[in-house]
Structure 1
Amino acid sequence: MNNMPIPEGSGRRREDYPLITGRAHYVDDLRAGKERPAALHMVVVRSPYAHAEIQAIHLEDAQALPGVVAALPASELVETMPAMEGIPVPRKLNRPLRKPLATQRVRYVGDPVAVIVARDLAVALDARDLVDVDYVPLPAVVDPEEALVPDAPVLYEEFGSNLAFNTQVGGGDIEAAFAQAAHVTHLRMVNQRVAPCSLEPRGCLFDFDPASGELRAWLSSQAIYTARNTLATFLGLSREKIRVFNAEVGGAFGSKSAFVGEEIAAAALAVRLGRPVKWIESRSENLQAQTQGRGQINYIEAAYQVDGRLLGLKVRSIGDLGAFLANTTTMVPVGTASMLNGPYRIQAIESQVIGVFTNKVPTGAYRGAGRPEAAYILERTMDRIAQETGLDPVEVRRRNLITPESFPYTSLLGIQYDSGNYQAALEKVVELGDYAGWRAKQQEMRQQGHSRLLGIGLATFIEISGGAMGGPGMPREAATVRVRRDGSILVQSGVATNGQGHFTTFAQVAAAVFAVLDSQVEVQMNDSALPAFGIGTFGSRTAQISGTAVHLAAEAAREKVLRLAALQLEAAPSDLDVANGQVCVRGVPTRAISLGKLATMAEEQPELIEHEKPNPVNGALIEGLAAWSDFSPTNATVCSGAHLAVVEIDAETGEIHILQYVAVDDSGTVLHHHLAEAQVHGALAQGIGQALYEETVYSQDGQVLSATLMDYTLPNTQQIPAFLTAFVETPSPINPLGVKGIGESGATGAPPAIVNAVLDALAPLGIRTLDMPLKPERIWAKIAAAQAGNLSKADPLPPALFRTFKTNQEGGTSTFA
């Protein structure tokens, strides 16, 4: 596929002015309309137990409070609704029939059991305090390894255990690879649970008109068309009767890619009461009861030669799924397994993944969604090989990276790598980061016995973007582009934007096709009634898929412009140029006609243009100088990067300071450097947060110990360094723009780069393993243990539970042997 050159954008985002001036409207700022009554406020009654039977819910006192409109148990609201089911990955999977709210048994702290609706939020909160629920507490299990022992408390008796799935993937001859190896090393890694923690928690506003049967929804969402379809399914309404708007979205990071039960409940109440209903999640609710990211334990066996070449990789992974299957819960650990080839040439890979139910809120997609976990496994392994062979970590990576002439490349696990130059990114980060200079500085400090320990960490990684990783399908995106009477261009996209800069990017793409200024392009999105379509903004997919849909629609509209102009200018369309708001005969600039005049003619004399097929989204005839197009790629793209972190550790306190962070990324053709850098910076901050600070903590009985921002530690501006970013551009052949993803690379590269740097600093003490987050007390304790000679030297072998399951040839759910 030929790549279309797009003039590089570097100016300001057109989205920023309302944000920085306080004019942006988030869900909580909205009301249904001037003619509609003020919204009622919904609050949720949540379980204080991680596991319990519901005996009775006493709502009488709450219902009697003045201002309360309704107080309903979950069973009354959702009993007739279908079950919520996640993406069915793998194919053989124990899938609980979970209603949108908990009706008989609660399985995590924060599980919603009842709702209160009142005219005032304060009244609703007071009424919630008057609700009395009779629970019969049950034993809880929160550790995923303990959840699989034979006598563990079971969340779903119908399954007989807490096993959700047991699947195996691989490629190559693993036994031969290990037989050839000179050495085998063992590692155990924990990718701890983290909270997406967007600045704006979830929120929604629904308004149902009983007379027309129409429901309008204002959301903070990553996927408005998916939301519309979900509402239709659970409320029994036709999709045509539902219109979804996206308000400004204060961050999402995967957590708002699908509906949750509370949003379905609010919509059902709006239909039931015939009044607008609003639900705004509190921060404590967000930290306690919304899907969390990561949550994996990985056991690694790596077979390698004395020259550092990795031959074989065995990975045994436990996915902490939580209490039920949210939309992307199982896709993440399965996706991790599919990405274990990484950017390296490996002879054989074998990966077994076990998904486990625990009495915690479900895990799901969080920035990277399986790809950071795979990169962490590989990059920690590469540094371990360097340590054991005495080779430099850069050299180990050089010897293992897939070479540029190998593309397109098919991984052992079936992933198609479209393009890349991993060596170029590695050499660039080594040069920009002055790797040799830092190594010399480190050697000097060690010789001087300095109390501050200097460490240097690398990460070279890939990230599948724009398509399926562990889930099915290559979904499409659609857009409409129109030339208007004033000569401006209108772009209508199915995207649900949430901070990435899509208004700026799509204007740039359309402007390039018509050779006009970006300011002459208006972009509309965030409305399901637009003549467009999209499945959502996630997976680093929007610029390459939605952007291509905009590009193709603009090209089609431009062809209509040229055909109409050819009639007026008495020239062949191939002899015409479009630029600066007009069409002229090439070489004869005086023979010209404006875009605005052509658009007016097309609308007033429709017989002058060819009839278009109806828009497949809404069935409307595409009139005037407009065109609709969709795009579904033949394959995903694979972006990549090389990151370098330099840290300094105070050996007396365990405190870590990041001295330098350099990120070199390959996201194909970079359309807008300012936007691309902003995406890298934000993701790096989250990756550093996971490496050093963030962790969702549970007590043994399932209580959330990190349910406030006093307890859940986020990095602040003083803890995030200035970043040095650069790009290597290898255009993708998958789409005409040559674009790959960029939004999740920082969250993929930062955790292994930071952890490798810290372990490099501690290497002279014999410290080889650490689990994130690397908080000062954890570092201090490890240093103290090393100084006392109490470090464990045992190899972290996979636990027996992996041998107690049988896995069939196709993978999938198994039972105890």
Structure 2
Amino acid sequence: MTKIPAGLERRREDLALITGHGRYVDDLRPAAGRPPALHIAFVRSPYAHAEIGQISLDAALALPGVVAAFTSPELASTMRPIEGATIPGSKRPERRPLAIGKARYTGDPVAVVLAENRYLAVDARDLVDVDYEPLPAVIDIEAALAPAAPLLYEEFGSNVGLVAKVEGGDIEAAFAQADRTLLLRLVNQRLVPGSLETRACMFDFDPESGQLTAWLSSQSIFRARETLANFLGLDKSRIHVQNADVGGGFGAKNAFLGEEQVTAALAMRLGRPIKWIEDRTENLIAQTHGRGQISYVEAAFQNDGRLLAIKARTVGDIGAFVAGVSPAIHARTGLMLNGPYQVQAIESITLGAFTNKAPTNAYRGAGRPEAAYILERVIDRIAHVLELDPAVVRSRNFLPPDVFPYRTVTGVQYDSGNYQAALDRLLELGDYQGWREKQRERRASNSDKLLGIGLATPIELSGDAGAAPGPREAATVRIRPDGTLLVQSGVSHNGQGHFTAFAQIVANTLHVPAEQVEVQMNDTALPAFSIGTFGSRVTQMAGSVVLLAAEAVREKALQVAAHVLEAALADLVLEDGRVFVRGTPAHTVDLGTLARLVEEQPTLIEQEPPNPVNGAPIAGLAAWRSFAAEGASYSSGAHLAIVEVESETGNVSILSYVAVDDCGRVLNHYLTEAQIQGSLAQGVGQALYEEVVYDEESGQPLTATLMDYALPSAEQIPDFVTDFVETPSPFNPLGAKGAGEAGCIAAPPTIVNAVLDALAPLGIATIDMPLKPEKIWTLIQSARQGKLAQHELAFPEYFTRHTQQ
């Protein structure tokens, strides 16, 4: 599958976007004959925690062009609660799509205004008068667990929303046999997903047909349809969901938070199309954030650098309410602590805390970056304590390639891997020994520009095990009478290159030029299905089902060709869109002719059963297939960063960044490299620049604009050198694994390890992201003055208190 047909060397989906012809939700207009769309604006609480009193809409309704306005009690109190996943040990307070009675974070929506255009809606929104009675807010996640902390939900008696335990192996025995132990406090700061396009939706309800049409910017249109059906009380067959062009999602567009449901409900109530386009400040303060964890980690190890066991105590920031799969993401950290290493025992306790901040949910990596950061910081610290090369320590701890499939002590099943091969390639490609020599020379010269070398060798969970009933992924591939091929997928495309990848798979399978393959997706009316675009799952899951459907339609075509050419199946050859008998290439029939024959004589092939997703027939020379993998796949990689720290300013420059990743079989190096580089940019952002900041007293977000939230610019992102090793997954027919999150998993520990390596001669052993110049400069000055703070670390008592409760 690695051959790339002509015409697919570059992405086929980009031309419209880079020439300004993309059609995002805000570019769309209602169908002909329908009235213009109303625009909705949400009135949001300016307080992090407050009782909501009287809400006056009079001034807003008096503004010309305003069509309607509603308070949260009169609107949301009649609406169903927002649904979401729960896991054992988690609490899910009832959450309506608008705040009722109490606002729990700055940005909590309390009323809505609808007007003839967006500007009028925003003006009217600012005229809504709300009486608030401010309440004490809790912002710090550790402070939220204190006995006297202000409570977000009095009915729970505390702010604990999750208690998750992961245990495996004999932890006490492992620690008893250890030569040494160490304890670290590690922070994964809150991040904004920061997609180019904010949340957006447009809904139109036809009362005559009872059909609701939805245009979204979504990562899962089928999940969106299910959510709307449950919330609105509509049969999902009455809901048609389509994705417009999507300007990024990164996990945050996997689930609705309430604004979309309100917009859909009002479209039905008012009989008018309604559009909502989130503004950037709303996006920064009210869309879900990512990460948000503090971990205390104790590691037991031997004098040769072998890691024996890990005890981890993590508190995760849930925010003001449970959004999507937030508890599962925080709980996943403990499950992933084995990484690529041989570990005898792991004991992890994770608490989730409610705070007066925007909720957290999936953000690129979703639990894997947090675990990788913990583990890779621990491995590097072991190396520095023992004065061993970090590359050597990693090699001594790697799982060997002959142990796969491998079940970790936490119960996770790894499919395949070759971790040493990736590290060996990295050390060669990145000139690791050459940089170590340069570092020795730099240190001998007492240069004020400190050179640091950082490594990380994390793993990445991708795909899914298919535990839920029914298909996880389904697609149809059709040969049309004109000889072209049609691929219909349930995927919600977010810019990753799926149109190109699916066309490549079908072109390879049916031996046709790439130009003959059309790909359709982003529409629930298609004979296809997908649970969504997340978790680096699409190539291995949706790509695999496209392959299965293409193989099935190829076999059907060959059956018809055998009838037409009066030849045995084994003697047929398919090349360049034509079937011929081996040895007699002049005796041929093209695919278009075969499709026409099947239309005229359907009995030439065994007809496909109706599509089980919507019951529609699959007629013609076509095949519908579904797929659910036996298990998840586990990618891996080895990353190297070379940094220079200016001791007089604290500024960090990345001189070199090399990444060698193993994402199974690579179908298209161009697409895969793009995914690696994009996620690396986000990983660099977390390591050096990005951080959601709130005022600790008032709970006001201090990063509410892009002037305050430091997304890295192109100038701040280094040139990356990438390469691949391939250990195919046995769990899907492509042998593919995920690649989309590798960079944001690996880059933070790689860069932090590099900076700490640069600072090691000064006795600086720890630092928290983001590595801002003033933070580094302060540490350097303290070290030079002999005033580095010495902290006695211990597991905080709140872990014991809340786990015993």
TM over 0.5: yes
- Aligned pairs (5 A) from 1:464-483: 464-467=461-464, 476-483=472-479
2:190 alignment partner, SS class: coil
CA distance in 2, matches of 1:416, 1:439: 36
- The Cα of 1:8 is off from its aligned counterpart by 7.5
1:372 alignment partner, SS class: helix
CA distance in 2, matches of 1:270, 1:437: 64
CA contact (8 A) 1:8 1:671 kept: no
2:233 equivalent to 1:236:
yes
CA distance in 1, matches of 2:536, 2:478: 27
2:748 to 748, 751, 759: 751
2:23 to 10, 22, 25: 25
Q: Which runs of 5+ in 2 are unaligned?
A: none
Q: Which residue of 1 aligns with 2:688?
A: 692
Q: Deviations over 1:431-450 (max 9, x none)?
A: 11111111111111111110
2:560 equivalent to 1:577:
no
Q: Which residue of 2 aligns with 1:537?
A: 533
1:330 alignment partner, SS class: helix
- Aligned pairs (5 A) from 1:516-595: 516-595=512-591
Q: Which residue of 2 aligns with 1:47?
A: 45
Q: Percent identity?
A: 62
Q: Deviations over 1:728-784 (max 9, x none)?
A: 011111111110000000000000000000000000010001000000011111111
CA distance in 2, matches of 1:511, 1:407: 33
Q: Which runs of 5+ in 1 are unaligned?
A: 808-814
CA distance in 1, matches of 2:792, 2:165: 23
CA distance in 2, matches of 1:92, 1:774: 34
Q: Which residue of 2 aligns with 1:810?
A: none
- The Cα of 1:104 is off from its aligned counterpart by 1.4
CA contact (8 A) 1:108 1:360 kept: yes
Q: Deviations over 1:94-151 (max 9, x none)?
A: 1101011112111000000111000011111111111000111111101111111111
Q: Which amino acid aligns with 2:415?
A: D
CA distance in 1, matches of 2:320, 2:642: 39
2:328 equivalent to 1:331:
yes
CA distance in 2, matches of 1:240, 1:609: 30
CA distance in 1, matches of 2:793, 2:571: 70
Q: Which residue of 1 aligns with 2:446?
A: 449
CA contact (8 A) 1:466 1:544 kept: yes
2:116 equivalent to 1:85:
no
Q: Which amino acid aligns with 2:625?
A: S
Q: Deviations over 1:681-735 (max 9, x none)?
A: 1100000000000000001121000000010001111111100000001111111
CA contact (8 A) 1:679 1:743 kept: yes
Q: Which residue of 2 aligns with 1:342?
A: 339
CA contact (8 A) 1:52 1:137 kept: yes
- The Cα of 1:77 is off from its aligned counterpart by 2.3
Q: Which residue of 2 aligns with 1:368?
A: 365
CA distance in 2, matches of 1:472, 1:96: 24
Q: Which residue of 2 aligns with 1:279?
A: 276
CA contact (8 A) 1:42 1:266 kept: yes
CA distance in 1, matches of 2:581, 2:76: 65
1:354 alignment partner, SS class: strand
Out of 98-107 and 683-692, give the one that drifted further.
Answer: 98-107
Q: Deviations over 1:354-375 (max 9, x none)?
A: 0110000011100000000000
1:382 alignment partner, SS class: helix
CA distance in 2, matches of 1:796, 1:488: 66
2:715 alignment partner, SS class: coil
Distance 1:160 1:303, change over 3 A: same
Q: Which amino acid aligns with 1:454?
A: L
CA distance in 2, matches of 1:268, 1:70: 14
Q: Which amino acid aligns with 1:66?
A: P
- Aligned pairs (5 A) from 1:171-320: 171-320=168-317
Q: Deviations over 1:79-103 (max 9, x none)?
A: 22222233212x1321101011112
Q: Which residue of 2 aligns with 1:121?
A: 118
2:727 equivalent to 1:730:
yes
- The Cα of 1:483 is off from its aligned counterpart by 0.3
1:657 to 638, 653, 657: 653
CA distance in 1, matches of 2:111, 2:790: 51
Q: Which residue of 2 aligns with 1:427?
A: 424
Q: Which amino acid aligns with 2:36?
A: A
CA contact (8 A) 2:2 2:666 kept: no
- Aligned pairs (5 A) from 1:614-625: 614-625=610-621
Q: Deviations over 1:457-499 (max 9, x none)?
A: 0000101100269x97896100000000011110000000001
- The Cα of 1:76 is off from its aligned counterpart by 2.3
CA contact (8 A) 1:474 1:633 kept: no
- The Cα of 1:575 is off from its aligned counterpart by 2.1
- The Cα of 1:7 is off from its aligned counterpart by 4.8
Q: Which residue of 1 aligns with 2:35?
A: 37
Q: Which amino acid aligns with 2:715?
A: Q
Q: Which amino acid aligns with 1:124?
A: A
Q: Which residue of 1 aligns with 2:384?
A: 387
CA distance in 1, matches of 2:83, 2:76: 15
Q: Which residue of 2 aligns with 1:779?
A: 776
- The Cα of 1:796 is off from its aligned counterpart by 2.1
CA distance in 2, matches of 1:5, 1:459: 28
- The Cα of 1:58 is off from its aligned counterpart by 0.5
Distance 1:277 1:744, change over 3 A: same
CA distance in 1, matches of 2:432, 2:133: 60
CA distance in 1, matches of 2:73, 2:596: 57
CA contact (8 A) 2:608 2:624 kept: no
CA distance in 2, matches of 1:728, 1:398: 17
2:660 alignment partner, SS class: strand
CA distance in 2, matches of 1:192, 1:395: 30
Q: Which residue of 1 aligns with 2:11?
A: 13
CA contact (8 A) 1:82 1:234 kept: yes
2:153 equivalent to 1:140:
no
CA distance in 2, matches of 1:324, 1:781: 36
- The Cα of 1:74 is off from its aligned counterpart by 1.9
1:102 alignment partner, SS class: coil
Q: Which residue of 1 aligns with 2:61?
A: 63
Q: Which residue of 1 aligns with 2:73?
A: 75
- The Cα of 1:198 is off from its aligned counterpart by 0.3
CA distance in 1, matches of 2:753, 2:182: 16
CA distance in 2, matches of 1:367, 1:259: 17
2:68 alignment partner, SS class: strand
CA distance in 2, matches of 1:620, 1:468: 27
Q: Which residue of 1 aligns with 2:485?
A: 489
- The Cα of 1:237 is off from its aligned counterpart by 1.0
Q: Deviations over 1:480-539 (max 9, x none)?
A: 000000111100000000010000000000111101111110000000000000111000
CA distance in 2, matches of 1:591, 1:75: 75
1:804 alignment partner, SS class: helix
CA distance in 2, matches of 1:467, 1:208: 35
Q: Which residue of 1 aligns with 2:401?
A: 404
Q: Which residue of 2 aligns with 1:644?
A: 640
Distance 1:473 1:350, change over 3 A: farther
Q: Which amino acid aligns with 1:202?
A: R
Q: Which amino acid aligns with 1:738?
A: G
CA contact (8 A) 2:401 2:418 kept: yes
1:762 alignment partner, SS class: helix
Superposed CA RMSD: 1.4
